[in-house]
Amino acid sequence: MCTNIVYEWLKTLQLPQYAESFVDNGYDDLEVCKQIGDPDLDAIGVAAPHHRRRIHEAVRRLKEADETVAGLYFTLEPQP
């Protein structure tokens, strides 16, 4: 299996065993992973309640990080 961002994300969650199922079900990018809900976890094959909780918590953190970044912006201006 090739290494990708979803694999690395799952590895940090100590759940790399689901990487292939995530990719096979179209979750090959963290933007898509932010949409994961219980029906998606069923389709992916995540049955263990503690694994589901870990993924839900990680998805919540991904969404929160987006909200934080969305409020930040900058402009490039020439130096005087």
d(CA 14, CA 54): 9
Mean pLDDT of 17-29: 94
Q: Specify the CATH architecture of the domain 5-74.
A: Orthogonal Bundle (1.10)
Residues of the chain with pLDDT > 70, as a percent, come to 80
Give 1 or 48, the one with higher predicted confidence: 48
Residues 58-76 pLDDT 10s? 999 998 887 665 555 555 6
Domain boundaries, the chain: 5-74
pTM of the model: 0.77
